[in-house]
A and B are shown apart, each in its own frame.
Chain A
Amino acid sequence: MAWQKYSLAFIITAAIFGTAFYIAQRIDAQRIADIRATEENISIDILSSETQFDLLGSLDCSTIAENPVLSDQLNDLASRLSVAEQNLGSTNKEVIQLKQQYSLLEIKDYLLLQQVSQKCKKVKPVFVLYFYSNAGDCPDCSRTGEELSYLRGEYPGLRVYSFDYNLDLSALRTLVALQKLNGPLPAFVINNRPPVYGFKTIEELQALIPELKTLASSTAATSTSGF
């Protein structure tokens, strides 16, 4: 018996496994870095928009109204975070940190949008604050995520802010308290109206957002995301 050969084959196989693990880890690290860079860019963009708004006030609403571009960037970021969460798991520390940062950016974008819409009467945003859980206690949340992604694809002007209800983030807890959320998930706050709870079909959601009719429709659907 060639025991040396048996051992050598084992070592080489283990080395192949180790290499596969190392490459996958490196790529995941690259993904995290990519998400972090995107979040930093968005953060700068939000700060820039806030500064621009402070500088111009309501004097130049057209400029501000024409550039609410953060929605696309946040959507793209949401898709990337969804991939990272799938690969690394929802309990991964870095994923949780990135989600916290993402949620903060969403809240800041939402607040900026509120400010803009108050000062610039022409700006009539249509938005949904969507609260979900992926802790296994909300079987309808993934379906609702699909519905909102579909609506976002159909109506590019619709802004959807998705929040992981269980995320440990004080700003999020404050938002939840301000919106007086106390029902089961999924929960929605549509254009600052009282919260709506539970699963809705796509027709029911459309009925809950009559403002959709004011938005330009698109036939091209975008990719879906859990965020």
Chain B
Amino acid sequence: MDIGALGIYVCLFIGLYFEVFLLISFFEKRPEKKSANLPSHYPSVAILVPCWNKGATLIPTVESLLSMDYPKDKLKVVIIDDGSTDNTFEAAQTFAGHPQVDIFQKQNEGSKYSALNFGLAHSHSDLVGCLDADSFVAKDALLEMVKAFEDETVMAAAPSMKVNHPKNVLELMQSVEYTFGIFYKKMFDNLAAISVLPGPFSIYRRSLFEKIGGFRKAHHTEDMEMAFRMHANGLKLVNVHTAIVYTNVPKTVPALVRQRTRWSRGYLENSRDYSYMYFNPAYGNFGMLVLPFGLIAFLGGLYSAGYALWHIVSYIVTRFTDMWLTHIPPHLPTPSWQWFYINTNMLTFLIIATLCMTLTAVVLGQRIAKTRLSTLSFISYFALFGFVAPLWLARAAWDTVLSRERGWLV
């Protein structure tokens, strides 16, 4: 076995270990079913909607917030136009004079955290939420989230995210990915190791910010840094799988790569800032499992993609060189379908096992979030993800090595 293949086996072992660990967690503590119980009380809630050039989606986003099942006098929507250059502010004016909506305009400071802190300073409520201006909440999402805060120790809660009306293959691919995310975020909750409080509809107890401060720039991933900082301070954050939020996702490969590069880069940079938590039992499963695995998954994904690319390129170069040297006319090899010629080495079975585990996680994610993915979504995911994910992994690694600043808006 060559040393390159040995690395692949190591990556597969770690990947399988992680998936097995999450499955054990699932069977240990299955997610509770949604109950019809209402909250014992209704705390006041302000939902911050920071937006930069979201004129096209701001109105339906705010309308979805205003139509939620929640006492009107307890819910406030705070729109923060973060220096948009399109018609965002005009779109926001649709809600001018609405008793539940406050509208602000500020200069863009190059990252979302400043808009969130601006909103924090201009709102007064027991709970503070945020919602990206291209996401839409289910009617009962806030009720479900508020129930989680009946536990006085809970300081923040993250929802289940689904892709909003996926149509093209890239969106369908992401719909599977998000469903997989629903599963593993719930399992991270079981392990008290949630690693991110996403922009779409995470809710915070206001006293949290008094304890540990407001949002930080954090390499344009303030939602991730906040989760890291909460773990560093021993604060409790949970996942509310029954609170559903629908989000628009990138429709093109360049847009997706830009978004994921920012996320991946944020993970690497925040990991460096909080490196003292790695393999530190004081931070529980977050320090011992989730943080190290995230980094290993990044490096392993990059390594596996590089290994596969090297082999594909080597094969193509060899074929062309052979054809050029031998003068054999171009011809397609005749594939044989006899069992004897099917590749059945150990690696094949391990890849099948990993794919089965992933599929199981996606199916469980479907059950948790009461959603159903189409066959085309699964085909898109298994056919595309392996090709597009290495693009952002490589770009994030490249940017980190060169300390290149790409900004939030690109």
Contact = CB atoms under 8 A, between A and B. Distances in A.
B33 interface: no
Interface residues on B, range: 20 to 34
Interface in B13-30: 13, 16-17, 20-21, 24-25, 28
Contact of A9 (B21, B344, B353): B21
Interface stretch (B36-44, B129-137, B280-288, B367-375): B280-288
Contact of A16 (B326, B333, B334, B353): B353
Contact of B328 (A2, A28, A142, A202): A202
A87 interface: yes
A27 B344 contact: yes
A202 B326 contact: yes
B340 A17 contact: no
B331 A221 contact: yes
Contacts of A12: 20, 24
Contact of A201 (B16, B24, B326, B346): B326
B24 A9 contact: yes
Contacts of A39: none
A223 B333 contact: yes
A218 to B, nearest CB: 12
Given A24-B346, A24-B349, A223 B336 contact: yes
B387 interface: no
Given A17-B350, A87-B345, A223-B333, A10 B17 contact: yes
Interface in A152-211: 199, 201-203
A16 B350 contact: yes
| Listed residue (A27, A199, A203, A222) with the most chain B CB atoms within 10 angstroms of its CB | A27
A20 interface: yes
Interface string B342-355: 00111011100100
A223 B13 contact: no
B334 A146 contact: no
B327 A203 contact: yes
A147 B331 CA distance: 12
A83 B341 contact: yes
Interface string A69-88: 00000000001100100010
A149 to B, nearest CB: 9
Interface string B302-344: 0000000000000000000010011110010110100011001
A134 interface: no
| Listed residue (A13, A34, A221) with the most chain B CB atoms within 10 angstroms of its CB | A13
A13 B16 contact: yes
A12 to B, nearest CB: 5
A5 interface: yes
Contacts of A8: 24
B17 A202 contact: no
B334 A9 contact: no
B20 A146 contact: no
Contacts of B25: 5
A24 B344 contact: yes
B369 to A, nearest CB: 24
A23 interface: yes
Nearest to A88: B345
Interface string A129-162: 0000000000000110011001000000000000
B189 to A, nearest CB: 15
A216 interface: no
A146 B320 CA distance: 13
Contacts of B336: 79, 223
Contacts of A6: 21, 288-289
A1 B281 CA distance: 7
A223 B17 contact: no
A13 B17 CA distance: 5
A224 B333 contact: yes
Nearest to A220: B334
A38 to B, nearest CB: 10
A200 to B, nearest CB: 9
B396 to A, nearest CB: 27
A124 interface: no
A20 B346 contact: yes
A13 B350 CA distance: 10
Given A1-B284, A223-B334, A16 B341 contact: no
Interface of A: 1-2, 5-6, 8-10, 12-13, 16-17, 19-21, 23-24, 27-28, 31, 34, 79-80, 83, 87, 142-143, 146-147, 150, 199, 201-203, 220-224
19 contacts: A1-B285, A2-B285, A5-B25, A8-B24, A9-B21, A10-B17, A12-B20, A12-B24, A13-B13, A16-B20, A17-B13, A24-B344, A27-B344, A83-B340, A83-B341, A87-B345, A142-B322, A199-B325, A201-B325
Ranked 9 nearest A-B pairs via Cβ: A20-B349, A9-B21, A24-B346, A13-B17, A27-B344, A9-B20, A201-B327, A202-B327, A12-B20
Given A13-B20, A87-B345, 8 more contacts: A19-B349, A24-B348, A34-B340, A79-B341, A143-B322, A199-B325, A201-B327, A223-B336
